[in-house]
Structure formats: structure tokens, C-alpha cells
């Protein structure tokens, strides 16, 4: 029987979805085990858990840390520290004086479960935090497949990733196979390209992050479970997890952050410019923080103000940089961030609601960390200067920016490797490869009903390996 270890940590909403997913997979013949990052996470979900489970405990072992020293154990902690910084909740700094204690606890925890149960798969979303990252280290060491789910940019399709690179390797493998095949018509791709101009990625439709109205955003849904969790974490012996010191502080911080954002957004108008698409400009889309797309896939570039400065001061003379605010993140950065951007002579800040595809079409090129805008730009025939790691990095019109590269020379070269009719065929083949690297289903943790289709596709994928 195929055994699946499902991860549960402090990420809001994920446990509900993965418990549902596990239940469906169990009915399909899989054996399910659960791993919780804290007592509190288990207490919150124990009424729904019928399978064997384990809760992270403190284990001191220099031997196991040394055993895994060839992995980047420090970098795997970065995403949680960044998240704690953004939400002002604090990584559980009881581990700060002995980080090796945390490392050994996580490594020992996953080694024990995977070895004892002869686990075949570890299931969660893409590697997005240290709990998942350390499980991935153990998977590599013990020859177990990590199964990370992430919504693709193709409508109602998701990707299954086995590395922290969010589908890069799976896409590259599919792309290599596609290159050896003649171009064949794929009905899904034909429909997708026909509607491409008006398509919004599924994750943008469901994340509710563009909602500025506090009263609409914080309605009754889920309030009972949150109150229960707050009581557990505040008055019980359960005091959060190593990723989250206190759930009360966490939820209060999120609410206060959203409140400040809604208030602050009213003052941002003075920083926004009206774009003149007749200008010569490069387009840089701001990213949402904290998120694995930056803290995992572009961890060297999370200081976007510094990145933007380095781009702006290395552009060819006469060109400017349009920096488009992110619909899901506008207002979250500090006012100082916006003020500092406005002081850069050749930078123009664009409103989040402005038509992105229109900006792409008239841009000289796109510069990005990992944004979906880069993917859309490639399909619209533009060159993309890429800083981070993302699934479309294998496209011929992507230039991967190096930390040691001469930025002025890099940004001055706008030549495309593929153009004209050849680009149309190339993009079609590229999309076919991407389509084949994804599976049917909408991966949306807020809609438990979508778990059925995802589980069906997931079971087919796992059983054929």
C-alpha cells in the first residue's frame, strides 16, 4: 500500500484542505499519516484525524545535523524568519540561542516517521516554509518523493513539484520532451490562447488579497474556529509552534496590517504616475511579500527597493522603469518605501489596477524576480530579464540576471532569440510542454469541494510512478 505523510503547520486554512485531500486519497487505497508542527495545530484538527499522527518534539542531536550538513539548512529557515518579520509576530526565538536544536528536531522528526512507516510520499504544497523544507531534505536523503501542490498559471490546472523550485525541473523535463516532437494541436491551448488577453490567473481570483474593505474582508466565515484557536493558544499549555509564537498575536497582527494598509492606501495617490505608453520603458512588477515566490525562489532579492534602484541606475539613457504596484500587495509596504521609489529620477510607479497586459505590449522588456507578468510577457513576444527561479525560465527569450553581471550591458541588449512566425510556433510548443507538466484541478484551499478533482489527478500521477 502506498503511504502518504501529510504535513500540517501554522499556515491558515491548509490543514482543513489537506485533511480532506487525505481522506479522499485514503478511499482510493492510500495509507495516510499526519505530521504536525505543534501541539496547537493538532488540538485544532484532532476531531478530524482518524489516522496515525506525530507532533514535533525537541530533539538534541549534533550527529543528525552533521549528517545533513551538505544541505543548505540555514537558507531553509529564511522564509519563516521573513514571514515573522512582515507580520511582526516573531519566529519562536526560544530556538534563537540554539538553532541547531531546531534543525536537529526537524530532521530527527521526519527521519523517524519516514523510516518507521516506510513512507512513499510526503504531501503538502510547494516547499514554502522550513517545516516543508526540512521534510524535503529528509526525502532527498531517504529516496522518498516530495509531492508539492501549486496552482499553475493555466486555468483550472495545478502543478506537482518535487523540489523547492516550484515546477522548474518538471517543466524543463516536459519541455525537453516536447522539443523532440512535432507541433501537434492541443484543444486546451487553442482555447487558452484565444482568451489569453482576458484571462486572470486562478490564484488571483481566489486569494481575496486585493480586497481593501476591512468589513468585507473580515466577515463571519471561520470566526468560531479562530476564537477556539486563540483560546487554545492563549490559555492552554499549547503555545503556538516554532514558526509562530502566539496565535493571538498572529491574527491581531494580520488584522492590524490590513487595517493600516486600507488607511495608508488613501494616501498613495500622490506617489502614482500616469503612464505614457509612448515612452521608452522597462516594466518591473512589484511582488507580494511574504511568499515562497520571493523568500524561496528569489531569496537574494527580497529587498525590492534595492533591486529597483540597481535596475533603474543601469538602464540605457532615455529609458525609464515603470514599477507596477501589485493588486494583492498595494499599500502593504511602508510609506517610506513609496517615498524612496518616487525619488528615483527614472522610475514611475503605476497604479495596481492599470491593465498589465497593455503595459507589457508597449514595454521595451520586462524585469522581474519570479512574477506571472514575466510569463505573460513571453507569450506577448517580449524579452524577460529574470532574477529568481520560476517555471518559465527555460524559455528562449528569458535572460537570467547574475549578481556578478554588468547590468548596464545586460539591460542594453534587447535582442530576442526567437521572433516572428517562429516565436508563434515556439510559444505554442512551450505552452504544450507546460500543459503536459500540469494536472487537471483547481488547487484552492478555501474551496474544499475542489479537493475531489485534485485528488483524482493526484492519485493517477502517483500510481503511475
Please report the pLDDT score of residue 255 as a whole number.
81
Q: Which pLDDT belongs to residue 243?
A: 82
Range with the poorest average pLDDT among 167-171, 322-326, 416-420, 421-425: 167-171
Q: For 13-17, 176-180, 404-408, 424-428, which range has the lowest pLDDT when averaged over its residues?
A: 176-180
Structure confidence at residue 216 as a pLDDT band (50, 70, 90): low
Count helices and strands in the chain by DSSP H and E runs: 20, 13
Does 324 score more than 70 pLDDT?
Answer: yes
pLDDT digits (tens, 9 = 90+) for 437-465: 899 999 999 888 899 999 999 999 888 75
Pairing verdict, β 438-440 and 157-161:
antiparallel
For range 160-178, the mean pLDDT: 76
User: What pLDDT, in 10s, does the model give residues 232-275?
Assistant: 555 555 555 788 766 777 777 888 888 888 888 888 889 999 88
Q: What pLDDT, on the 0 to 100 scale, is given for residue 91?
A: 56
Q: Residue 260 and residue 263: Cα distance in Å, rounded?
A: 5
- What sign for the dihedral angle of Cα 313, 314, 318, 320? negative
Is residue 290 reached through a cis peptide bond, with omega within 30 degrees of 0 on the bond before it? yes
Pairing assessment for the beta strands 384-386 and 438-440 based on DSSP bridges? unpaired
Whether 377 shows a pLDDT value over 80: the answer reads yes
Which of the four pLDDT bands, split at 50, 70 and 90, describes residue 217?
low
Confidence of residue 207 (pLDDT cuts 50, 70, 90): low
What is the distance between the terminal CA atoms of the chain, rounded to a whole angstrom? 14
Q: What is the pLDDT of residue 201?
A: 83
pLDDT for 44: 82
Q: Using one digit for the tens of pLDDT, what is the confidence trace for 83-119?
A: 888 876 655 545 556 889 999 999 999 999 999 999 9
- Domain ranges in the chain are 3-167+438-463, 268-426
Cα–Cα distance, 363 to 366 (Å, whole number): 7
Please indicate whether residue 209 or residue 10 has the higher confidence score (pLDDT). 10
Do the domains spanning 3-167+438-463 and 268-426 agree at the CATH topology level?
yes
User: Looking at domain 268-426, which of 3.40.50.2000, 3.40.190.290, 3.40.50.740, 1.10.150.130 is its CATH number?
Assistant: 3.40.50.2000
| pLDDT of the residue at 235 | 52
Residue 433 backbone class (left: φ over 0; alpha: ψ -120 to 50; beta: rest): alpha
What's the confidence (pLDDT) of residue 93? 47
pLDDT class of 188 with cuts at 50, 70, 90: very high
- Rounded mean pLDDT, 290-302: 93
User: How far apart are alpha carbons 35 and 453 in whole angstroms?
Assistant: 24
Q: What pLDDT does 97 receive?
A: 63
Q: What is the assigned CATH class of domain 3-167+438-463?
A: alpha beta
Alpha-carbon Rg of the chain, whole angstroms?
23
Long-range contacts of range 169-172, CB-CB < 8 Å, 24 or more positions apart?
A: 170/391, 170/437, 171/391, 171/392, 171/394, 171/433, 171/434, 171/437, 172/394
Q: What percent of the chain has pLDDT over 90?
A: 64
Amino acid at each position: 500500500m502506498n503511504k502518504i505523510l501529510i504535513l500540517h503547520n501554522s499556515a491558515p486554512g491548509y490543514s482543513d484542505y489537506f485533511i480532506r485531500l487525505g481522506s479522499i486519497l485514503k478511499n482510493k487505497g492510500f495509507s495516510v499519516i499526519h505530521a504536525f508542527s505543534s501541539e496547537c495545530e493538532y488540538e485544532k484538527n484532532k476531531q478530524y484525524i482518524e489516522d496515525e499522527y506525530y507532533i514535533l518534539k525537541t530533539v538534541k542531536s549534533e550527529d543528525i545535523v552533521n549528517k545533513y550538513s551538505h544541505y543548505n539548512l540555514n537558507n531553509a529557515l529564511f522564509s519563516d524568519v521573513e514571514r515573522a518579520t512582515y507580520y511582526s509576530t516573531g519566529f519562536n526565538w526560544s530556538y534563537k540561542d540554539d538553532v541547531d536544536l531546531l534543525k536537529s528536531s526537524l530532521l530527527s522528526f521526519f527521519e523517524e516517521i519516514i523510516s518507521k512507516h516506510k513512507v512513499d510520499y510526503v504531501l503538502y504544497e510547494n516547499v514554502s516554509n522550513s517545516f516543508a523544507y526540512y521534510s524535503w531534505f529528509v526525502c532527498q536523503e531517504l529516496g522518498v518523493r516530495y509531492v508539492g501542490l501549486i496552482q499553475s498559471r493555466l486555468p483550472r490546472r495545478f502543478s506537482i513539484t518535487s523540489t523547492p523550485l516550484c515546477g522548474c525541473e518538471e517543466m524543463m523535463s516536459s519541455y525537453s520532451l516536447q522539443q523532440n516532437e512535432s507541433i501537434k494541436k492541443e484543444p486546451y491551448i487553442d482555447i487558452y490562447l484565444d482568451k489569453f488577453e482576458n484571462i486572470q490567473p486562478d490564484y488571483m481570483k481566489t486569494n481575496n488579497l486585493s480586497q481593501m474593505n476591512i468589513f468585507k474582508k473580515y466577515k463571519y466565515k471561520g470566526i468560531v474556529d479562530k476564537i477556539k484557536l486563540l483560546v487554545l493558544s492563549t490559555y492552554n499549555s499549547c503555545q503556538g509552534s516554532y514558526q509562530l509564537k502566539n496565535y493571538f498575536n498572529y491574527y491581531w497582527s494580520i488584522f492590524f496590517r490590513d487595517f493600516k494598509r486600507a488607511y495608508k492606501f488613501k494616501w498613495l495617490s500622490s506617489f502614482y504616475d500616469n503612464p505614457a505608453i509612448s515612452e521608452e520603458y522597462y516594466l518591473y512588477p512589484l511582488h507580494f511579500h511574504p511568499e515562497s515566490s520571493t523568500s524561496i525562489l528569489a531569496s537574494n532579492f527580497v529587498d525590492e527597493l534595492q533591486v529597483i534602484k540597481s535596475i533603474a541606475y543601469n538602464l540605457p539613457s532615455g529609458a525609464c522603469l515603470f514599477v507596477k504596484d501589485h493588486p494583492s500587495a498595494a499599500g502593504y509596504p511602508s510609506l517610506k518605501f513609496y517615498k524612496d521609489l518616487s525619488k528615483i529620477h527614472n522610475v514611475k510607479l503605476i497604479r495596481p489596477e492599470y491593465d498589465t497586459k497593455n503595459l507589457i505590449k508597449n514595454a521595451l522588456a520586462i524585469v522581474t524576480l519570479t512574477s506571472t507578468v514575466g510569463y505573460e510577457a513571453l507569450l506577448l513576444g517580449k524579452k524577460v530579464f529574470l532574477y529568481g527561479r520560476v517555471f518559465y525560465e527555460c524559455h528562449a527569450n528569458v535572460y537570467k540576471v547574475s549578481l556578478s553581471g554588468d547590468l548596464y550591458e545586460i539591460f542594453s541588449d534587447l535582442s530576442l532569440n526567437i521572433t516572428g512566425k517562429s516565436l508563434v510556433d515556439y510559444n505554442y510548443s512551450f505552452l504544450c510542454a507546460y500543459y503536459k507538466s500540469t494536472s487537471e484541478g483547481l488547487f484552492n484551499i478555501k474551496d474544499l469541494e475542489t479537493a475531489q478533482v485534485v485528488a483524482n489527478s493526484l492519485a493517477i500521477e502517483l500510481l503511475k510512478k
